[in-house]
Amino acid sequence: MWESISLTIAATAGNNIGKVLQKKGTHILPPLSFKLKVIRAYAFNKAWVMGFLLDIFGAMLMLRALSLAPVSVIQPVSGCGLAILSVFSHFYLKEIMNAVDWIGIILAGIGTIGVGAGGEEQKSSSISIFSILGLACGVAILFVLLNGWLRIYRRQRREQELMQYEVVEEIIYGLESGILFGISSVVSKMGFILLEQGFSNLVVPICISMSICCSASGFVYQTRGLKHGRAIVVSTCAAVASIVTGVLAGMLALGEQLPEAPIARLCLLLGWVFIISGVVLLVTSARLVRYLPRPWRRFLRSSVERNVGLRHSSSIRSREPSPSTVIQASTLHHLITSPKEKA
């Protein structure tokens, strides 16, 4: 179990860090196209190439992890990618993090330990065609309801001549993208289970292709929400929906079960709660700081200013160029999945 969890952590770290490096490389690159000059420019950009290779390597590790452990274990642990990305951005990209960010990272780490301690190896149960059809019908019905809800609010917004997005629209786009991300992992795991049941070897690449389509569709929905909505709401809903969908779909469609031992079951459930709480804190930290008592805010502000001053002085002594922009850790998920939003 710990092997699959370690693979998941390495995979999600590679995916998230790879996307940040790709985005950093594209700052000086033209829009991607099939022109020879453009392809050559991307191929010789070290940051973009390193990020691309890390992203591909992370995807391969994730497939390996899914072949070894249940989705109900892998999907929650993958939510720790945002915590790893925050630490990487703090030390490598010199981004500022507040106390809430560190609390979120600690909670995600404790949750990962809980999932590792409570998770257990499970024998692959047989998947019936009815469970697959039930999963597909359930997702389709859920999307019909969400899109119907979205159309109702859009119509009301037109009638009231409102220009800004309402929070309901942001929530719907976040939920839809998170559901697709969770289903993507379930479909990949389904391919490995069907292969163990004696199906053709082609079932694995077919399921992986379907998984890629689900992930791509999830990015489309998330980008729509991030284009006009608030990154905090969309990213939080997407992260939580992805974990919940992976856990529920793994149990209902793939026959995964909770551990029989009470202590192991408690550790697993608490691990899920801690990981979700850590992810929510990381995404909403910038906004949560505003609601803290004034003395706490002053203390956090002074500590951040001291941190920035120390880094600035050290960068002057070493004569290294300081980063031109400072990105809050709570917006990292927004930056790696969509174009920049205008303030």
pLDDT of residue 174: 83
**Closest residue by Cα to residue 75 from 175, 145, 164, 5:** 5
pLDDT digits (tens, 9 = 90+) for 225-239: 766 666 667 777 887
pLDDT of residue 96: 74
Mean pLDDT score, 264-278: 85
pLDDT digits (tens, 9 = 90+) for 43-98: 888 888 888 888 888 888 888 888 888 887 888 888 777 777 777 777 776 777 77
Read off the pLDDT band of 40 (50, 70, 90). Answer: confident
Mean pLDDT score, 157-177: 72
pLDDT digits (tens, 9 = 90+) for 129-147: 777 788 888 888 988 998 8
pLDDT of residue 166: 63
pLDDT of residue 26: 74
Q: Which of 16-25, 198-207, 224-233 has the lowest mean pLDDT?
A: 224-233
pLDDT of residue 17: 82
Helices (H), the chain: 2-25, 36-43, 46-68, 71-78, 81-91, 99-118, 129-159, 167-196, 203-228, 231-253, 262-290, 294-318, 332-337
Q: In the predicted model, what is the mean pLDDT of the chain? A: 75
Read off the pLDDT band of 323 (50, 70, 90). Answer: very low
Give the separation between CA 174 and CA 242, rounded to whole angstroms: 10
